[in-house]
Amino acid sequence: MAPAKHPAKLNLGDYLPYLVNRVGTIIADQFGEEALAPHGLSIAMWRVMAALSANGGQRQIDLADLTSIDASTLSRLVTRLTRIGLVTRARSTSSNREVVVALSAKGRLLVARLIPSARRIEADASAGLTAEELAVLKRALRRMYRNMTARPTAAAGARAKRIAV
Amino acid sequence: MAPAKHPAKLNLGDYLPYLVNRVGTIIADQFGEEALAPHGLSIAMWRVMAALSANGGQRQIDLADLTSIDASTLSRLVTRLTRIGLVTRARSTSSNREVVVALSAKGRLLVARLIPSARRIEADASAGLTAEELAVLKRALRRMYRNMTARPTAAAGARAKRIAV
């Protein structure tokens, strides 16, 4: 174990994992309640739809990379999104063995309606930060995610083998 | 609604709420699985114990401020921690009407054992960031949390009226 500077105490207000997690949670909770819940969507379902909207139809394995959602969870999400008519699964035109996930017309319409809310909550959350601070923040967060996916733990290997997008 | 620069698309890899949330989640998941699950603790239970360890016994209302956990969730957490012998509830010595939550001897011992793991995962997550980047990152995250708690939404009002610690 690495030696700790203050082994007996841990000040949450200066503890990076806490500072990150509470921000991530409060944004997801507010966006979920305000924008997604009225449509019966979770944050994870929204991520899938946003990724399909930005990148077009995807194989499930590529969609997992784009959303940082593990394969088995993603499969269940796509099934639910398909059932409610927001997403379709179809054989690839280039390879009959491949299944491609894509937004339905209804799904595209819903994403287009939700994107302004998503942009607004991002703007609300980052109000008062300079462009430079925002750039440092995003770069640091990408680096942290890569650090965590590269940690040599069984848990990390099983769940988070995605590379940061 | 605020006008969006790219109304039709949202690139998750550059979308701040996504970048924050996936880092917060992966750190909490790994710390939870590696360090907390063996002791039957959740991240929220750990936060309560860390706050009590750093600040001594607390009224539940002050503990809610220290942990950013809402009062009713916190009350359930304290009950569970009391049942497994990690925390005690006692009348305040200064005011008989006040209940003070504190770590038990067993709780103090467990926090002391967990703090090195908590410091290590923080170090792993932030590896490669300079001291200046870390300072910008923490300041930006505190600002974002304040921004979110100050948003005039019903959801924010009901759930997240805590001030950033």
pLDDT digits (tens, 9 = 90+) for A63-113: 998 998 999 999 999 999 999 999 999 887 777 778 899 999 999 999 999
Residues of B in contact with A2 (CB under 8 A): 116, 119-120, 123
Comparing CA positions, the residue from B50, B127, B49 lying closest to residue B87 is B49
Distances (CA, A) of A49 to A57, A62, B24, B158: 10, 13, 21, 28
Does the pTM surpass 0.90? The reply is no
Contacts of A152 (CB under 8 A, 6+ apart): none
CA distance B62 to chain A (A): 14
Closest residue in A to B25 (Cα–Cα): A21
**Chain A contacts of B43, Cβ < 8 Å?**
21
Q: For A132-154, write each residue's pLDDT tens digit.
A: 999 999 999 999 999 999 998 74
Q: Who among B1, B16, B136 is closest to A126 (CB)?
A: B16
DSSP B92-139: -SS-TT-EEEEE-HHHHHHHHHHHHHHHHHHHHHTTT--HHHHHHHHH
Q: Measured between CB atoms, which of A17, A26, A136 is closest to B160?
A: A26
Q: What is the predicted pLDDT for the residue at B4?
A: 46
Are B17 and A50 in contact by the 8 Å Cβ rule? The answer is no
- Measured between CA atoms, the residue of chain B closest to residue A48 is B12
According to the model, what pLDDT value does residue B51 have? 95
Q: How many residues does chain B have?
A: 165
Of B15, B17, B50, the CB nearest to A12: B50
What per-residue confidence (pLDDT) applies to A7? 57
Burial code (b: 16+ CB inside 10 Å, e: under 16) for A53-69 equals bbeebbebeebbbbbbb
> Lowest-pLDDT range, A37-41, A112-116, A160-164, B14-18?
A160-164
pLDDT at A9: 83
Q: Nearest CA to B10 among A89, A79, A62, A111?
A: A111
Residue B80 CB-density burial (10 A; 0-12 exposed, 13-18 middle, 19+ buried): middle
Between the alpha carbon of residue A29 and those of residues A39, A46, B17, B114, B151, the distances in Å are 15, 13, 11, 28, 13
Give which of A65, A48, A39 is closest to A102, Cα–Cα: A48
**DSSP β-bridge partners for residue A99:** A91
Q: Does A60 touch chain B (CB under 8 A)?
A: no
Q: What is the mean pLDDT of chain A?
A: 88
Q: Tell whether the model's pLDDT for residue A155 goes beyond 60.
A: no
Q: What pLDDT does A97 receive? A: 79
Contact status, residue A78 vs residue A133, Cβ threshold 8 Å: no
If you measure CA to CA, which chain A residue comes closest to B129?
A: A140
Average pLDDT, chain B: 88
Candidates A1, A9, A20, A36: best to mutate against B (most CBs of B within 10 A) is A20
Contact A12 B121 (CB under 8 A): no
Which residues from chain A sit within 8 angstroms of residue B19, using beta carbons?
A: 138, 141-142, 145
pLDDT-derived band at B7, boundaries 50, 70, 90: low
Q: Can you name the residues that pair with B103 across neighbouring β-strands? A: B87
Mean pLDDT of B76-103: 91
Cα-Cα-Cα-Cα dihedral of A74, A45, A160, B45, to 10°?
-120
